[in-house]
Amino acid sequence: MGHPTNARDAINDWRDWRDLLASDAQGLRAAAAACDPSDVAAVTALRRDYPQHSPTLISHALALATARDKARRKFAARGDTMVADPAGVEQASSWRVAQYKAQRIAQAVGTHTRVFDVCCGIGGDAMAMQDAGLQVIGVDSDPVRAWMTQQNAGCPTIAAALETMNLSGQVVHLDPDRRAARNQQRTWRIEDYVPGPQAMSALIERCPDCVIKLGPGVDRDAAQALAGPRGEIEFISEAGRMVQALCWTGRLASGVPRRATLLAADGTDHTLSASPYATNMADGLDVADRDDVHDRDIADSDDIESYDPDPYATEIPYDQSSGTAALSSEPIARYIYTVDASIERAQLIDTIARQAQCDELWPGLGILGSDQEVTNVWLRGYELRALMPWRMNKVTRYLRECDIGPVTVKTRGCTVDADKIARQWRNSKRNPKRSSKNKNGQPAVVFIVRRQRQQVAMITHPLA
């Protein structure tokens, strides 16, 4: 749904959406839900079968059907009846994240407190705040989106821009538009948000109790400057995937500058907070800032996700009889661990390393090591089987000889193209999966990392 270009267009657009929910459009809604919007013939037939409805209304019906399909994946059963457009669903917080935020707000300021949900969109956060017992008023500059929040959350809404409202002293949740610039492409720059940084800073000055939703890849310095010296920046991952950053101020802040939160797949929530530590003191960047971090499975992609100088110059021979690596006497960690993305973004790697009693192998690459197997919700573990200088032929030969099964490629801090390696191993005759005698061999993860000036391969097996 594009934003209306003027007030008259906005009113007409709102009327079309309102008419779509009327009882006489029930047949159209059902037919649109069964129609493939990418099938030109099917859409033509839909228009022919419902000539009493305008082309705009039919387009909205198709958009509603697509949005509800997306909403089911984000909001479960609630998605079946939500009033939304596809872009609105894509921009909304997931239900799990929305619930987490709402509960934190309610705990900080108390239930029955009035909260203004500014740039409320389709009302995903407003629904969760209503459920948490907060008294929500939705605000959006787009009258259609404000109306959608009213329909979905059952709360009063105001169609107005932030700059035109006097919210002094109120509790505010703000979700600025991160697709307003660059032809609707998502942006990580606070400067490109709408409302922009000046408007957000002015809001915090007038309304100290604020939470502002930021993109997960936001520049940390810019976010911390927005939060101020007493504010908090929180990075949230859901089921291992970075989804959101939050700027908390006033009573909503917890008193720590940086927090990582993991909403685990098993339904549990985990949080870790401390003062941030720059994991790469040379350039102030950690792995989540870099454009040379890649993770590719030989078959397909999965989640994105290093000891000291020279022990890594030799290969750890593989013991076929025991099925384990014959570790040398060199000081090499037997197990390596990648950390949850929220920990990396929050720069709390040293905190989790101390908690898990691990060492950060190579600073800046976000990989920990230990000679003991560690169980920690923040860590994903691998048993190190071999380490060698990165040479495509050498690694391929090793994988063949050890009868390795499916292979995932992860790169850190180097210029190796993980996609290209994955394609070569998938498509060429050298593919370890095809050449292996055991098609069901143990899965392996090959980390290709830069150790000082040398690129090395760590061949590992994931821990259960």
* Predicted pLDDT at 185: 65
**C-alpha–C-alpha distance, residues 68 and 80, integer Å:** 6
Residue 179 CA neighbour count, 13 Å, CB half: 12
pLDDT band at 416 (very low <50, low <70, confident <90, very high): confident
What mean pLDDT comes out for the span 273-283?
A: 54
Pairing of strands 171-174, 157-159: unpaired
* Predicted pLDDT at 318: 36
Question: Which range (87-91, 129-133, 394-398, 404-408) has the least confidence?
Answer: 404-408
Based on the number of CB atoms within 10 Å of its own CB, is 400 exposed (0-12), middle (13-18) or buried (19 or more)? middle
* Predicted pLDDT at 427: 62
**C-alpha–C-alpha distance, residues 283 and 356, integer Å:** 26
Q: Which of 115 and 279 is assigned the larger pLDDT?
A: 115
Nearest to 437 by CA among 463, 411, 399, 409: 399
What mean pLDDT comes out for the span 212-234?
A: 95
What mean pLDDT comes out for the span 202-208?
A: 97
What mean pLDDT comes out for the span 258-268?
A: 95
Domains by residue range for the chain, with CATH: 7-74 (no CATH), 92-274 (3.40.50.150), 287-462 (no CATH)
pLDDT band at 272 (very low <50, low <70, confident <90, very high): very high
187 pLDDT higher than 70: yes
**C-alpha–C-alpha distance, residues 200 and 218, integer Å:** 15
233 pLDDT higher than 90: yes
Q: Which of 228 and 283 is assigned the larger pLDDT?
A: 228
Question: Which range (25-34, 40-49, 63-72, 417-426) has the least confidence?
Answer: 417-426
CA 217 to each of CA 234, 253, 277, 301: distance values in angstroms, whole numbers, following the listed order: 12, 20, 17, 20
What mean pLDDT comes out for the span 213-231?
A: 95
* Predicted pLDDT at 437: 42
pLDDT band at 381 (very low <50, low <70, confident <90, very high): very high
For the stretch 98-114, pLDDT in tens is 999 999 999 999 999 99
Contact 442, 404 (CB under 8 A): yes
Q: How many CB atoms lie within 10 A of CB 51?
A: 8
What mean pLDDT comes out for the span 215-229?
A: 94
164 pLDDT higher than 60: yes
315 pLDDT higher than 80: no
pLDDT band at 6 (very low <50, low <70, confident <90, very high): low
Question: Which range (118-127, 329-338, 426-435) has the least confidence?
Answer: 426-435
> What value does the mean pLDDT of the chain take?
83
What mean pLDDT comes out for the span 255-272?
A: 95
* Predicted pLDDT at 180: 55
371 pLDDT higher than 60: yes
**Confidence (pTM):** 0.83
Q: How many CB atoms lie within 10 A of CB 247?
A: 26
What mean pLDDT comes out for the span 443-450?
A: 90
Question: Which range (207-221, 259-273, 327-341, 409-423) has the least confidence?
Answer: 327-341
pLDDT band at 188 (very low <50, low <70, confident <90, very high): confident
Which tokens is 71 given?
């909403």
